[in-house]
Structure 1
């Protein structure tokens, strides 16, 4: 994987993204030339329309990222990929219409844009047909040697079997740290020279996955491997990189303290984030005001009770605040004010509530909390005090998620379906910790773009 602004991107995704960008630029230029050829016009030098080409290509690629064109499913299934390409190009053209309205100097002719769409769809599809499963082949995967053969090593083996894995396991070395869970592991005593064994297997990385690290680190082996130029990694860092979450099962406090992350140099990016929150929340409230009022009227007509409701949540540094939402459940959804997890096909949800939850319309009033500074657009989901008290007692490091401002959308929200149990909260905590540890404006942008996918295909919305 390649690390971009503290976030890891698979080599295959980065390579495909670069190829796609080139295809989009070519599609835009081909459309321009075709249109001028049709009208027998004199074609200006290509350099004169570079701004139009870049605007076209970048806008469509952002739409592709947003709808999940570079997700695992799209890389595995041709039909899935083409369907997402059609949606992304359609959305991209709508976005281009807005860009062209605001910046007329970057505009295409409508016929040019139509041709560019067709060329882009054909070219992007052809790229995926030609590459086929090549991008998922072992040629693009890192070869990893695992030191350990217990349950931790078995977890790596399970991860390597998943679709979209960016690595393959070159082998396992049993370090005599307990009963083996990986039977094909080679015993360390049977290897005369471990560093030579690593080179022989053409491994580019060694992952330390022994069961007991205290007083058991094979320091001499690790030092010799390191001096051969092979990267040595601990299991927690490896899992963080490969899964996009902080793995609680392998985590220890010293790793959180000494690992890269939780950077204090965020003043400039935090100020930019706050400015973005203020501007965009004000625009959203202004543009969606009629939608909010119409939905409020429908909620009021369908069931008794107020159209809006306030609910206490836990925010930055554990401080409490009230969020404003459109009511999507019956007024008596919680008897006596006792907090209850939402469930799949929850009978408390009204008919209007079911629709606005799937479309995320019930979340729109939260833009007011963003404008006030109690929330951000991107961050961990703010939970209710009753749930937080219970989860802090059950889950280690749960309080650390409150070190960043809560958000309407977030890394956990786009990577894990709606949670309604302690186990779900544990999985979402792993994603929240990853966000808190690796926050950058780039990661915020990635989350905002992929929120489009969650809105269009709301798996798990309750």
Structure 2
């Protein structure tokens, strides 16, 4: 069905199956809203419908599609159970979409079909979209239509890639068949090992292989290696994709696998480019979004400050030194969520799960991200951006730079209020967590664009609503 499983737009990988699903869902939502009168008759719902035009149907479909995107509906569906899909769709349409439509109809009252009609249309749309997703997933992820991939390599790199695929990488329309050994020693599970083919191209044709992912542990210049390179060249020239493991991680998991990253990848790869025009556009977007957030969230800012004061007194705010762009230090501001003596000995500590230093109000404002609202001030000052890697404390940065390779590369992008790593990785509270987050920060640093920033802003709704990555 899909000869190529992705396209790249503005440096960001977009998977074709998800784009097709989004178009189908948008069309279905448009049709349901347009035919609401007929649908009410079919379901014997005794509420009068109102006449709506194409613009009203387009706006309805657009808002609910944004609700799905905000709740991560286009990225989690392969792993979801029916109950999870049902819950996610209801939250996306009835809650996030409902809020969006309510605000929309304040601006465009002529598009409002009425609260009762709208409720029934949203419920019908939810049922129809759930059915569409179940059918679409069954068809597109079937063995007949998936892109079949083999990994060339059987060392630690190949084993790690296979493990991540088993746990996380079940992307729509992609199936890893197994690993072809490149040496006598292997760390890959025997169940995933394939026989070494005599003819790579013929093997790929016979087994319907669309892509070879090269994950060799060692690349020695031997006669066998030269022969293998020629076979790979033939496969590529005859239409079979040959991809490095680091590029495969980047495309499918949207991260840069740290064990595979080398300085040459940063130097020669497309990306990691500074742009004055983009920096100016990003600054304009930061100011527009931060000032709008300040106006909209002002009542919540006042209520949060009052709640912190009533529970534990002053100070309501606290500040810490953080490391920003090009290693420059600045003061970050938050609503205080811990006791005043949380670091009475002056030593910086990682936050832990169920941290006893967190107050009751502090736990709530952390879960809802209300404690981060004072950082709007940092964005307005230009010390932070709306989107970027989260800034870390100097004490931790000093340690992490010695223990995590390429850690300092994240400081070539302005830190952000929200970030790609916060969407993809749980709360970081250790050196190993810092490594995991850096893989996503590297991907953002390499590929960041205004489109990616907008996608991160929309998807952060799920993080706030579900309290992901909080300690």
TM-score by length of 1: 0.91
Structure 2 match to 1:423: 432
Shift of 1:285: 1.9
Cα deviation code 1:277-304 (max 9, x no counterpart): 1122112222322322232222222224
Q: The residue matched to 2:308 in structure 1 has which SS?
A: helix
Match for residue 195 of structure 1 among 198, 201, 211: 201
Q: 1:169 to 1:137 in 2, by over 3 A?
A: same
Equivalent residues in 2 for 1:254-273, closer than 5 Å? 254-264=264-274, 266-273=275-282
Equivalent residues in 2 for 1:39-118, closer than 5 Å? 49-72=53-76, 76-90=80-94, 91-104=96-109, 106-118=111-123
Q: The residue matched to 1:451 in structure 2 has which SS?
A: helix
Measured in 2, the distance between the counterparts of 1:238 and 1:406 equals: 26
Shift of 1:40: 9.2
Structure 2 match to 1:223: 233
Indicate if the aligned counterparts of 1:74 and 1:84 stay in contact, CA closer than 8 A.
no
Structure 1 match to 2:405: 396
Structure 2 match to 1:8: 13
Indicate if the aligned counterparts of 1:76 and 1:133 stay in contact, CA closer than 8 A.
no
Shift of 1:178: 4.1
Structure 2 match to 1:370: 379
Matched, 1:205 2:211: yes
Measured in 2, the distance between the counterparts of 1:322 and 1:213 equals: 47
Structure 2 match to 1:158: 163
Cα root mean square deviation, aligned: 2.5
Measured in 1, the distance between the counterparts of 2:66 and 2:48 equals: 34
Measured in 2, the distance between the counterparts of 1:134 and 1:75 equals: 15
Indicate if the aligned counterparts of 1:60 and 1:88 stay in contact, CA closer than 8 A.
yes
Matched, 1:174 2:181: yes
TM-score by length of 2: 0.89
Shift of 1:187: 5.5
The alignment covers a number of residue pairs equal to: 455
Indicate if the aligned counterparts of 2:37 and 2:49 stay in contact, CA closer than 8 A.
no
Measured in 2, the distance between the counterparts of 1:83 and 1:201 equals: 39
Match for residue 31 of structure 2 among 26, 31, 44: 26
Q: 1:383 to 1:180 in 2, by over 3 A?
A: closer
Shift of 1:410: 0.6
Q: The residue matched to 2:270 in structure 1 has which SS?
A: coil
Match for residue 392 of structure 2 among 380, 383, 386: 383
Give the gaps of 5 or more residues in structure 1: none
Shift of 1:310: 1.5
